[in-house]
């Protein structure tokens, strides 16, 4: 890469892929290759080592996908397996659209049996999307791109449009639930079904107010939302 010589190897089955809108697939195909640095001793129960990124294979056109492990207890730490896979392959993943934390507060999670610090806002987002009985394969920029590697960042950030385009779906996390956020979501469903806002404006004042409050959240002030959605 430093010399400017780079070849790409793509499975011929995926060369002609274009975006197709579809429902969430019934059968989720998880990435299986979760590399770790030599000399590390992974442990889910009591990790002692800090996670260090393994470089992506640029020739294979790799990305990282994190498998968020399920839990019935919302309070337990996030356990994730960070996997590598080609961007065009049979792996199914969800892309995450969220608001980065503005403060520097960090929280520890377990990644590949090692300790990792992430922003507290992202940790709360991962808790919100974590399921009770199923693994969630997720692409999220703050983890799936090695933010301390400028070479990797300069290569991966321009590809974000392609990554989101190849996701099975995009989860938009606008923040935690409030006492009227469910009303706002009901309003969105009504608008989608009727397609004319004025038809329901007069008798849905409370729902309109809830939707206004939802759209005033800082998430919707992010320029990245336009690209991600």
Average pLDDT (169-186) is: 89
Is 201's pLDDT higher than 60? no
Is 44's pLDDT higher than 90? no
Q: What pLDDT was estimated at residue 147?
A: 92
Q: What pLDDT was estimated at residue 14?
A: 63
10: exposed, middle or buried (C-beta count within 10 Å: 0-12, 13-18, 19+)? middle
Distance between start and end Cα atoms, the chain: 31
Is 202's pLDDT higher than 70? no
CA 182 to chain centre: 22
Contact partners, residue 216, CB within 8 Å, separation at least 6: none
DSSP-H helix ranges across 167-222? 181-194, 198-201, 205-215
* Portion of the chain with pLDDT greater than 70, in percent: 85
């Amino acid at each position: 890469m430093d010399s400017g010589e780079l070849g790409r190897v793509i499975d011929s089955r995926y060369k002609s892929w274009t975006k197709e809108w579809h429902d969430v697939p019934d059968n989720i195909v998880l990435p299986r290759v979760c590399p770790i640095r030599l000399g590390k001793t992974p442990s889910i129960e009591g990790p002692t080592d800090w996670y260090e990124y393994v470089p992506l294979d640029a020739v294979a056109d790799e990305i990282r996908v994190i498998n968020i492990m399920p839990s019935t207890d919302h309070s337990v730490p996030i356990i994730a397996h960070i996997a590598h896979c080609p961007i065009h392959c049979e792996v199914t993943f969800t892309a995450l659209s969220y608001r980065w934390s503005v403060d520097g507060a960090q929280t520890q999670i377990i990644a590949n049996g090692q300790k990792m610090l992430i922003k507290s806002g992202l940790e709360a987002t991962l808790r919100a999307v974590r399921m009770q009985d199923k693994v969630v394969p997720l692409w999220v920029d703050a983890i799936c791109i090695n933010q301390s590697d400028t070479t990797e960042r300069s290569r991966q950030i321009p590809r974000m449009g392609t990554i989101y385009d190849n996701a099975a779906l995009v989860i938009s996390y606008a923040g935690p639930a409030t006492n009227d956020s469910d009303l706002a979501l009901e309003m969105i469903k009504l608008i989608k079904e009727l397609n004319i806002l004025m038809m329901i404006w007069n008798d849905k004042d409370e729902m309109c107010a809830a939707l206004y409050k939802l759209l005033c959240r800082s998430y919707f002030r992010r320029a990245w939302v336009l690209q991600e959605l």
